[in-house]
Amino acid sequence: MLRRLVLLATLILAAPAPRAAEITVMTSGGFNAPYEALAPVFERETGHRLVTLRGASMGAAPDAIPNRLARGEAADVIILAAEALDALAQRGFVRPGSRTDLVASRIGASVRAGGPRWDISTEEGLRRALLEAPSIAYSASASGEYLSRELFARLGLAEVVMPKARRIFSERVGSVVARGDTVLGFQQVSELLPIAGLDFLGPVPDSLQRVTVFSAGIAANAREEEAARALIAFLAGPRAHEAIRAVGLDPIAR
């Protein structure tokens, strides 16, 4: 018996340690804030290394995730708006059936610190802010598509708002507002809250809100599938919920 125990211990000690993988992650801004908090925890606990590439879920910017993939850039994990992820799966860039929903995200608005404090908690208040703001910025991704194509028109303000509105490519809307380049900015709440120099006005009213689900999937050309699945499971698991809620997102229970 003793001999067997010694042999077993020897085999365990001689077994190779799990291989540390380098996982390439393409993520859009909607999930960036919790990702920044959770990525170091995952790396520390697993020994894997994350290489992160950022871009919008959609749009014409060169660094938008669909355009990166179309150019042949490699990835293991892709995190972006669920609708855009499904479209990538249909185009063959994401493995079918690999989608895992992570968070629900809402659109909010901010002004530069000390700027006008419009009350946008009601439709009338939001309408007033859009009329009074001399300049408006919105993202080139999911929230901006909704604002420019639907919300402004629903309020009957498209003809007034669009001439003074600006679509922001490859940069956070909040950064543009914090610099003073634009007075009023709209983007996902989680993308506005981390930026210094802003006053957050709140989310768009529920009656006009567009909730976006951000999801993760395995890239079709993934080289580190096992490690990629481990990362997605970690980001979707209960241990991630506190970091997700802290930045104004709602975790989606699995």
Domain limits for position 118: 107-203
218 and 178 both lie in a single domain: no
- Angle subtended by helix axes 225-236 and 32-46, to nearest 10: 120
Question: How many folded domains does the chain comprise?
Answer: 2
C-alpha 95/C-alpha 220 separation (Å) is: 5
Instruction: Clarify whether residues 113 and 193 are in a common domain.
Output: yes
At 15, the pLDDT band (50, 70, 90 cuts) reads very low
Pull the structure tokens for residue 12: 């365990």
Same domain, 67 and 130: no
Query: Which tens digits make up the pLDDT trace of 53-91?
Result: 998 888 778 888 999 999 999 999 999 999 999 999 999
Closest CA to 111 of 134, 92, 90, 88: 134
pLDDT, tens digit, 9 for 90 and up, residues 127-181? 999 999 999 999 988 899 999 999 999 999 999 999 999 999 989 999 999 999 9
112 and 199 belong to one structural domain: yes
Residue 2 has pLDDT above 70, yes or no: no
Question: Does residue 118 register a pLDDT over 90?
Answer: yes
> Are 166 and 193 in the same domain?
yes
- Verify that 116 and 192 share a domain, yes or no: yes
Same domain, 154 and 191: yes
What is the C-alpha separation between 103 and 185, in angstroms, rounded? 22
Tell whether 164 and 128 lie within a shared domain.
yes
Whether 216 and 98 share a structural domain: yes
Q: What is the pTM of this model?
A: 0.78
Q: Does 199 have pLDDT greater than 80?
A: yes
Query: Domain for residue 179, yes or no?
Result: yes
Residue 8 lies in a domain: no
| Cα separation, 139 vs 192, whole angstroms | 11
Query: What tokens were used for 99?
Result: 């989608």
Q: What is the CATH number of the domain that holds 37?
A: 3.40.190.10
